[in-house]
Amino acid sequence: MLIYLLKRLGMTAIVLLIVMVFLSILVQFVPGDAARTLLGPRATEDQVLKIRSQMELDQPVHIQVAHFIWNTLHGEFGNDFWTGRPISSYIKDVLGHTAALAFASLGLAVLLGIPLGVFSATHPNSWVDRILAVISISFITLPSYVAGLFLLLVFAVNLKVLPAMGLGDPGDWVGYAKHLILPAIALAITWVGYLARLVRTSLLEVLNTNYIRAAQAFGLRDRLIFYKYALKNALIPTVAVLGVGLGSLMGGAMFAEIIFSRPGMGTFVYNAINARNYPMVRAGVLVIAIFFVAANLVADLVNSWLDPRIQLGESRE
């Protein structure tokens, strides 16, 4: 397990290093002068030169890359050009809201998707299974922003049972939870359908394996076979997908946050892109990438714990 952990940590470090290098040189691919684009056409030459110096655009590319990686490793993303406030403080203000939305969406997808998949697998080819298949596929093909607009119109505008926008009053956790319901459902709908189909397929495959038939031949109880052997192994692919899902939800929260006017990493990056504030865009994308990679690492470790054969396969490489 230790060797497997070290290998995964090494691969994670390499991926993050590649992401940091890419983000540090991304400004080089922006058409025209990034500093002049940021300041606008009325900026003076002295202002442009000052911003270029602050963005280190007057330095060689390899110096820019080295400084960005070094500052990132120390948790520093520089200061905002307009307010002088550290960019990291902006991220701290909104990161928790996006994390709450992502975890709530993923939790809702797990609570609904896995039971639906298990029920479909235990009632294959029944009329209920066919109905759930149609519903699951419909959910998979429904974009989160379409679901968000539909939920907003129905529950906030027409029925007026849930708040439409914002976070609620500071310190009001009940209000915060109510404001979280609609965007969490909008993000979770696609993953509910996907998890339901994945669990159904994996569980049917496991139930048809030889060791399940052998357990049945030995007279073990069906409930014991199902929960101890079949379901545990069937959930291994699901755990791997959940790691990708959490990272995707962190990145995909942008649409939900814009539709429901929620402060978060999505709106942070969106506003930075509109303002052509490249340092803030770079910092926001990097934080989302870190969460994505970390979620995949945790999923790999949980998978290796559920199925030790993964570690053995890794050691033979």
Task: Tell me, letter by letter, the H, E, C secondary structure of the chain.
Answer: CHHHHHHHHHHHHHHHHHHHHHHHHHHHHCCCCHHHHHHCCCCCHHHHHHHHHHCCCCCCHHHHHHHHHHHHHCCCCCECCCCCCEHHHHHHHHHHHHHHHHHHHHHHHHHHHHHHHHHHHHCCCCHHHHHHHHHHHHHHCCCHHHHHHHHHHHHHHHCCCCCCCCCCCCCCHHHHHHHHHHHHHHHHHHHHHHHHHHHHHHHHHHHCCHHHHHHHHCCCCHHHHHHHHHHHHHCHHHHHHHHHHHHHHHHHHHHHHHHCCCCCHHHHHHHHHHCCCHHHHHHHHHHHHHHHHHHHHHHHHHHHHHCCHHHHHHHHC
Tens of pLDDT, residue by residue over 189-237, are 989 999 999 989 888 888 888 877 887 787 777 777 777 778 777 887 7
User: With 80 as the cut, is the pLDDT of residue 26 above it?
Assistant: no
Is 179's pLDDT higher than 60? yes
Phi then psi for residue 79, to 5 deg, are -110, 150
Q: Tell me the average pLDDT across 239-244.
A: 77
* Tens digit of each residue's pLDDT (9 = 90 or more) over 94-106: 888 888 898 899 8
Q: Which of 44-53, 263-272, 298-307 has the lowest mean pLDDT?
A: 298-307
Question: pLDDT, tens digit, for every residue of 263-295?
Answer: 888 888 888 888 778 888 888 888 888 888 888
The pTM score is 0.80
